[in-house]
Amino acid sequence: MSTTELETIKSNFTQGLSQISQFWGLPKSLGAIFAVLYLSPNALSLNEIVGKTGFTKGAISTSVRTLARMGLVHRQSKLGDRKDYYIAESDFYKVVRSILKGRENSEFNRALASVQETLVDLQTNPNQEGDAEDWDFAKNRVAEMQSFFDNLDNLVRVITALETMNQNTVQKVIALLKK
Amino acid sequence: MSTTELETIKSNFTQGLSQISQFWGLPKSLGAIFAVLYLSPNALSLNEIVGKTGFTKGAISTSVRTLARMGLVHRQSKLGDRKDYYIAESDFYKVVRSILKGRENSEFNRALASVQETLVDLQTNPNQEGDAEDWDFAKNRVAEMQSFFDNLDNLVRVITALETMNQNTVQKVIALLKK
DNA sequence: TAGTTTGTTTAGTAAAAACTAAATAAACTA
DNA sequence: TAGTTTATTTAGTTTTTACTAAACAAACTA
């Protein structure tokens, strides 16, 4: 009965993380799986996760891999046991850095590059007569955007370079901003 | 012909922003509409946006409203003209603050609240005998998560409270983090 | 070897989201 | 008033995405 109670609370928590997950445009399953792992004192096998979440083996298999890519869970192998086991990363600052690092590979960078190409295209073009103002306007706008992205990219680069990031780090930033 | 060239470049740029948009889990249309407005020296009416993007009036009508909610575009009314006109916000730091502010209303906060409820549920419950360690483990885990969220929330609160935010602000943060 | 137990991939389905076309509403105009 | 011109809403379609069920593959076991 007390166990049931705990399970109920866990289930509510899982629902909450599912919603957060889909708020960020991710599948609910990711939130649910992470929640189950996060509240489990011991590593869980794929089939155990199936049992606790109700998703199929295939779904868990792929979901758990994307969670691992994000740095939110880690795969473990026990000796003499063919099963894989999964645990949740509980240091969220680590997760933030891991996700920010992931940006380099991603589709996102290809899109960013296309913005940069636009800027080059605009700059290398000889000024036209008829629509010179249009060209200049576009040039300035895209240059501003590029500068914003560069600035942001620097910030991310510095963050990912931090050997440690924790509450204290954030609080120092807050103190700086408050002035 | 030179005009055609400029249009081609604009179209590439628009494609780029569309991809960025969908990378963040948003409809491509949002990126496309913003791109068109961002590169337009003058405010555009709804029908002009329809012409430049190829989406239907209905789609533009709703998309432009969500863009406005995010602070990415602004609606303008010209006197003696019944049409609405739209311009892009070009200060991206403003946009960041605007989006961060929007968090208060959102579904996101309801989900966060449910995490907090979980914590309360766990803490108010009298310790059980059989599964005391399970309760404690869950309690600690959820408390840690809550503390992370609180910390982040403070940061966001400070950022939105900033009267101005710009490249310089970011650079100061970078300088702080580098030490 | 054949038989288990695991994880992954694939093909198909169900559900959700983005979008279109058209009806409606609202504000003006002649 | 009836007729235009605009924006919004609605109902339905298309497209995309998440997921299931089942086949497959790989690693072990008897």
Per-residue pLDDT tens over the stretch A143-174: 999 999 999 999 999 999 999 999 999 999 99
CA distance A60 to chain B (A): 22
What confidence tens digit (pLDDT) does each residue in B146-173 have? Answer: 999 999 999 999 999 999 999 999 999 9
Does the CB of A47 fall within 7 Å of any strand C atom? yes
Q: Which residue among A38, A90, A115 sits closest to B13, beta carbon to beta carbon?
A: A115
- Kindly state whether residues B23 and B57 are assigned to the same domain: yes
Compute φ and ψ for B83, nearest 5 degrees.
Answer: -70, 150
Calculate mean pLDDT across residues A111-134.
Answer: 87
The answer to whether residue A124 neighbours chain B at the CB level (below 8 Å) is: no
- Kindly state whether residues B169 and B125 are assigned to the same domain: yes
Beta-carbon separation of B135 and A6 below 8 A? yes
Closest residue by Cα to residue B90 from A144, A139, A151: A144
Distances in Å between the Cα of B113 and the Cα atoms of A16, A138, B1, B106, B165 are 8, 44, 57, 11, 29
Does the CB of A46 fall within 7 Å of any strand D atom? no
- Residue A1, pLDDT > 80, answer no
Beta-carbon separation of A6 and B178 below 8 A? no
Domain termination site, one of B43, B64, B90 = B90
The answer to whether residue A65 neighbours chain B at the CB level (below 8 Å) is: no
Distances in Å between the Cα of A9 and the Cα atoms of A4, B148, B149 are 9, 20, 19
Beta-carbon separation of A13 and B176 below 8 A? no
Does the CB of A25 fall within 7 Å of any strand C atom? no
The answer to whether residue B132 neighbours chain A at the CB level (below 8 Å) is: no
- Kindly state whether residues A42 and A70 are assigned to the same domain: yes
CA of B82 to C1' of D6 (A): 7
CATH number at residue B50: 1.10.10.10
Helix, strand, or coil (residue A74)? strand
Query: Which spans in chain B are helix H?
Result: 2-23, 28-38, 46-53, 57-70, 92-102, 107-124, 132-161, 167-178
Q: For the sheet containing A44-45, what is the strand order? A: A44-45, A84-88, A73-77
Q: How many whole angstroms separate alpha carbon B88 and alpha carbon B83?
A: 17
Beta-carbon separation of A155 and B173 below 8 A? yes
- Kindly state whether residues A108 and A86 are assigned to the same domain: no
- Kindly state whether residues A60 and A104 are assigned to the same domain: no
Confidence band for B3, pLDDT divided at 50, 70 and 90:
low
Residues 6+ apart with CB under 8 A from A30: A21, A63, A66, A67, A72
- Kindly state whether residues B75 and B20 are assigned to the same domain: yes
Calculate mean pLDDT across residues A11-20.
Answer: 95
Kindly report the average pLDDT of chain B as a whole number: 93
- Kindly state whether residues B76 and B16 are assigned to the same domain: yes
- Kindly state whether residues A58 and A136 are assigned to the same domain: no
Does the CB of B83 fall within 7 Å of any strand C atom? no
Does the CB of A78 fall within 7 Å of any strand C atom? no
- Residue A152: per-residue pLDDT: 95
Q: Which chain B residue is nearest to residue A35, measuring alpha carbons? A: B142
- Kindly state whether residues A101 and A77 are assigned to the same domain: no
Contact by Cβ (8 Å): B142, A13: yes
CA of A62 to C1' of C7 (A): 10
Q: Give the rounded percent of residues in chain A with a pLDDT score beyond 70.
A: 96
Q: How many domains does chain A have?
A: 2
Contact by Cβ (8 Å): B28, B34: no
- Residue B133, pLDDT > 70, answer yes
Closest residue by Cα to residue A92 from A10, A165, A169, A18: A165
- Residue A88: per-residue pLDDT: 98
Domain termination site, one of A69, A90, A111 = A90
Residues 9-28 of B with CB under 7 A from strand C: 26-28
- Kindly state whether residues B85 and B98 are assigned to the same domain: no
Confidence band for A179, pLDDT divided at 50, 70 and 90:
confident
What confidence tens digit (pLDDT) does each residue in B84-98 have? Answer: 999 999 999 999 999
Kindly report the average pLDDT of chain A as a whole number: 93
Q: Which residue has the tokens 């950022």?
A: B159
CA of A71 to C1' of D29 (A): 35
Residues 6+ apart with CB under 8 A from B55: B29, B32, B33, B49, B63
> Which range of residues forms the domain containing residue B25?
2-90
Instruction: Report the range of poorest mean pLDDT among B60-64, B79-83, B167-171.
Output: B79-83
Identify the H or E element spanning A21. Answer: helix A2-23
CA of B61 to C1' of C24 (A): 15
Output A105 or B169, whichever has higher pLDDT: B169
Query: Which spans in A54-131 are helix H?
Result: 57-70, 92-102, 107-124
Residues 6+ apart with CB under 8 A from A74: A68, A86, A87, A89
Q: How many whole angstroms separate alpha carbon A117 and alpha carbon B86?
A: 26
Q: Which chain B residue is nearest to residue A16, measuring alpha carbons? A: B111
- Residue B107: per-residue pLDDT: 81
CA distance A81 to chain B (A): 25
- Kindly state whether residues A7 and A85 are assigned to the same domain: yes
Residues 6+ apart with CB under 8 A from B128: A2, A6, B135
CA of B173 to C1' of D19 (A): 43
- Kindly state whether residues B7 and B83 are assigned to the same domain: yes
Distances in Å between the Cα of B137 and the Cα atoms of A6, A51, A108, B92 are 11, 21, 38, 42
Q: How many whole angstroms separate alpha carbon B41 and alpha carbon B85?
A: 12
What confidence tens digit (pLDDT) does each residue in A22-58 have? Answer: 999 999 999 999 999 999 999 999 999 999 999 999 9
Contact by Cβ (8 Å): B111, A20: yes
Domain termination site, one of B48, B63, B90 = B90
